[in-house]
Amino acid sequence: MTNNSKIWMDGKLVNWEDANVHILTHGLHYGGGVFEGIRIYNTPKGKAIFRLQDHMVRFYNSAKVIWLNIPFSMEELCEASKTVVRASRPEDDYLRPLAYYGANPEGKIGLNPTKMPTRVSIVATHMGAYMGKEQLESGAKIITSTWEKPGNRSAMLNAKICGNYINSVVAKLEAVHRGFDEALMLNADGEVAEGTGENIFIVKKGVLYTPPLSAGILEGITRDSVSIIAKNKGYDIVERSMTRSELYLADEVFMTGTAAEITPISYIDDISIGSGKAGSITKELQKAFSAAVNGKDPMYAAWLDLV
């Protein structure tokens, strides 16, 4: 694949084809790394990165959880992100910062990463509509995965740790192999947690409900953005545990995430949600969110970092 974009690696821009890692990289073998997914939007004032500071705060917090020392300041990584976007293709709309334990300088391999250097990279690429344009407009069809989310005692679920996501990968594969768009994951208590890479909301009688952090979910930045927008529109947001059958009986269900943005859910386990189409509140929030991220609502201008 020919790509003239540049990738930021360990303090400098390199050509796309030169962004390589050693085969003994610790993070490759054991999942010892952290990452972020950040959207890039075209605004009337030019390209902008959505909630860059908030994403970088979570990036550093995730690294802290696995004792990974990032040898760059937050200001340096924010500026590096802007540099990458400036060097990206016009269609690139997604930014991926990644920090991970590198290769042992002595060529040794093993679980202990103490002597491993920290490697950091930032790349821009094209994401588009994560589950598809039709799903974004009309609704996605999902299943409840047979795989459950790890419990809070077995995984650090509030951090975006690379190794954590193998659980999501197999759940996603299960959904795709069965002909669905996405998977819903339950936690060890049988309660609703989240999607493979998205938070989830239900709408019932005009009130929005979403699982709490204690359910074993990631504290999503899009989840927070949607909650703020919904509250500003007068909706009540309730964080509480919920069951799988509550989703079946909801008026509306939608997922949120950097990749998914706000994606309505039309069917779960072949059961139609509401009318089986995107609901009116979901559509209202989609429209408001789109205005915010594309720089068309001054109320949320602080969420955008122009490059």
The CA distance from 17 to 218, in Å, is 32
Q: Hey, which residues are catalytic here?
A: 160
Beta strand pairing call for 271-272 and 304-306? unpaired
Considering the chain, what percentage of its residues have pLDDT values greater than 70? 99
**pLDDT at residue 2 greater than cutoff 80:** no
Considering the chain, what percentage of its residues have pLDDT values greater than 90? 91
Domains (range + CATH), the chain:
6-125 (3.30.470.10), 133-298 (3.20.10.10)
pLDDT recorded at residue 1: 53
- Chain CA centroid to CA 21, Å: 24
Tell me the pLDDT tens digit for each residue of 122-145.
999 999 888 888 888 889 999 999
**pTM of the complete model:** 0.95
The CA distance from 225 to 245, in Å, is 26
Tell me the pLDDT tens digit for each residue of 239-257.
999 999 999 999 999 999 9
The CA distance from 1 to 66, in Å, is 34
Return left, alpha or beta for 117; rule: phi > 0 is left, psi -120 to 50 is alpha, else beta.
beta
Tell me the pLDDT tens digit for each residue of 67-86.
999 999 999 999 999 999 99
Average pLDDT of the residues of the chain: 95
Start-to-end C-alpha separation, the chain: 26
pLDDT recorded at residue 236: 98
Tell me the pLDDT tens digit for each residue of 139-154.
999 999 999 999 888 8
Query: Beta partners for 46?
Result: 43
**pLDDT at residue 212 greater than cutoff 60:** yes
Do 156 and 164 touch, CB atoms closer than 8 A? yes
H or E stretch at 199: strand 199-204
The CA distance from 134 to 221, in Å, is 24
Q: What's the rounded mean pLDDT across residues 24-53?
A: 97
Question: Residue 129, exposed/middle/buried by CB under 10 A (0-12, 13-18, 19+)?
Answer: middle
pLDDT tier for residue 4 given thresholds of 50, 70 and 90: confident
